[in-house]
Structure 1
Amino acid sequence: MSIVIIIYLLVAGIVAGLLSTTAGLASLVSYPVLLSIGLPPVSANVTNTTSAVFTGFGALFSSQKELKTSPQTTLTVITLTLVGSICGSFLLVTAPATTFEHLVPFLILAAGILMLVPKKNLTKEVGQEHAQSKPALFWKGLAILAVGIYIGYFGASAGMILLAVLTVTIRQTFVVSNAIKNLAILTANLVAMLIYAFTAHIDWGAAIVMGAGFFIGGYLGPIVVRHVSVPLLRRLIAIGAFALAGYFFYTTYL
């Protein structure tokens, strides 16, 4: 691997890590970059997931304050995404992703729309997840589990989709939801990486170099989220989602 490729992957990793932990849009950068250096699509996908593990560790170090806000909710989200990711990872290596790829543009579009849904006042509700009805908890849990399956099976913009789902399924602020999302994505990606290590081809050289950049960007992301306007950030994420949905729609259907 040449020094130019190393710098290219490192810088791309930093940008992708920052996008991942602020908006869940790392795939706007990381996946195309891996394709551009000659990796086949499936190898680029699993290498991208492996690299993304590092961004989770970076975010973990800088999100301690938010993660202590609601440990029960955090554990529930992590468990559901983890179980889903395991199922999705095995599904990826046993069934082709071609059919599922046709749904991706619509999933990303839906995530963008969810980002524009106004968040009601949480003053009296933060930390009161137990007050929700059992049917509501079931459907919300099922939605998070489904995102976990998506993470393990396809993964593109999974962080953004999970963040969008969390903003409407858990009673926490955007900043806390983002921190929980980052930790959940870390655990899901970590398990997926372990499965891929034995069942798929990971380009470890590219994964480690890009992963170093992911770690730096992942550490900086939560710090940025604390100091920017949440409504503005949500709108920017929605715009990014619509653009990405348009890209996937074009590449899939046209």
Structure 2
Amino acid sequence: MTILQFALLILAGFGAGLIGYVTGMASLVSYPALLAVGLSPISANITNTVALVSVGVGSMSQSGRVLLDGDRRRLGIGVVAALIGGTIGALVLILAPPDSFRIIVPYLVALASVALLAQPRLRRIASKHADRPWIWYIGLGIISIYGGYFGAGAGIVLLALALVVTSEPLWRAALLKSLFLGVANLVAAIGFAFSGHVHWVAALAMAIGCLVGGWCGPPAVKRLPAEPLRIAVGIGGLGLALWLGIRG
């Protein structure tokens, strides 16, 4: 890997960390960047999962302490659900044939992008539902499986679930999203470390950027025009899904 590619991955990681906190779509920035420097689809996905652990670390170190002010029992159950889901997702990716991964990726990216574009409608639905803890835990586990397997759009799907089936306000739901997906990514990354598919130099470059981007996420979300950014990333994600499908 050249110095220029290393620097570009740091920059892409910063964008992934920042956009990941704001929109939950970090992989729509980081994954194509890893493909662009020559990684295979499965290596790019696994390296991406390892690097994205830094997003959760950055955002939690910035403002994660406020989560401890709530119900710690529910927080603990959520962490366990994320651990189980991330482990299952990692196993599915490692054991599944590479060809099946290439086939399914465009559909996962497209689904994630549509979820992002539908975010305002999902938020409006949230106000009509009462707190439903068991649906939340089951949904969290399922989304964590997806997060461990690929994860593009997992953040926005988890945020939407939190807003629909719990009574959490938006700011706290965003923090929960960062925590639980960070846990799912971490347990998946531990398994991937022994798979032989991690490009460690690329992972280091991306992780540096992700750490800084995740740190800047909480204060930046108050200043950035989130609505135009959400629409731009959603449309860009659909374009990426089309490109991946053609590239196949």
**Range of TM-score over shorter length:** 0.7 to 0.9
Q: Does 1:247 align with 2:248?
A: no
* Alignment partner of 1:138 out of 126, 131, 134: 134
Q: 1:166 aligns to what?
A: 162
- Distance between the aligned counterparts of 1:214 and 1:21, measured in 2? 10
Indicate the residue corresponding to 2:60 in structure 1: 60
Q: State the alpha-carbon separation in 1 of the partners of residues 194 and 48 from structure 2.
A: 16
Q: Which runs of 5+ in 2 are unaligned?
A: none
Matched position secondary structure for 2:122: coil
Partner of 1:40: 40
Compute the TM-score of the two structures, normalised by the length of structure 2: 0.84
1:116 aligns with 2:117: no
Question: How much does 1:80 deviate?
Answer: 1.6
Deviation at 1:253, TM superposition (A): 7.3
Give, in whole Å, the separation in 2 of the partners of 1:141 and 1:238: 29
Once residues 8 and 66 of structure 1 are traced to their aligned partners in structure 2, the CA distance between those partners, rounded to angstroms, is 33
Aligned residue for 2:136, secondary structure, equals helix
Q: 1:9 to 1:100 in 2, by over 3 A?
A: closer
Q: Report the equivalent of 2:81.
A: 80
Per-residue Cα deviation, 1:62-114 (whole angstroms, up to 9, x for no partner): 11343234234433332222211101110111123356446422354245424
- Aligned residue type for 1:78: V
1 CA distance for matches of 2:81 and 2:227? Answer: 24
Structure 1 residue 223 displacement after superposition: 1.7
The residue matched to 2:152 in structure 1 has which SS?
coil
Identical-residue share of aligned pairs (%) = 31
Runs of 4+ in 1 over 6 A off after TM superposition: none
Distance 2:6 2:196 in 1: 23
CA distance in 2, matches of 1:140, 1:235: 29
Alignment of 1:166-245 (within 5 A): 166-225=162-221, 227-228=222-223, 233=226, 236-237=229-230, 240-245=233-238
Rounded to whole Å, the distance in 2 between the matches of 1:121 and 1:56 is 25
Matches within 5 A, 1:19-38: 19-38=19-38
Query: Would the alpha carbon gap of residues 93 and 77 (structure 1) be closer, same or farther in structure 2, given more than 3 Å must change?
Result: same
CA contact (8 A) 1:147 1:158 kept: yes
Amino acid at match of 1:117: L
Shift in CA distance, 103/121, structure 1 to aligned 2, threshold 3 Å: closer
Counterpart Cα distance in 2 of 1:239 and 1:170: 28
Tell me if the contact between 1:115 and 1:238 (Cα under 8 Å) persists in the aligned partners: no
TM-score, with normalisation over the residues of structure 1?
0.82
Change (3 A) 1:19 1:110: closer
Give the CA deviation at 1:159: 1.9
Letter in 1 for 2:111: F
Q: In the comparison of the two structures, how many residue pairs are matched?
A: 242
Residue in 2 aligned with 1:125? none
Amino acid of the residue matched to residue 29 of structure 1? V
Residue 111 (structure 2) pairs with residue 106 (structure 1): yes
Once the two structures are superposed, residues 32-88 of structure 1 have per-residue CA deviations (whole angstroms, 9 ceiling, x without a partner) of 111111111100001111111111111111113432342344333322222111011
Contact 2:115 2:153 in 1 (8 A): no
SS at match of 1:199: coil
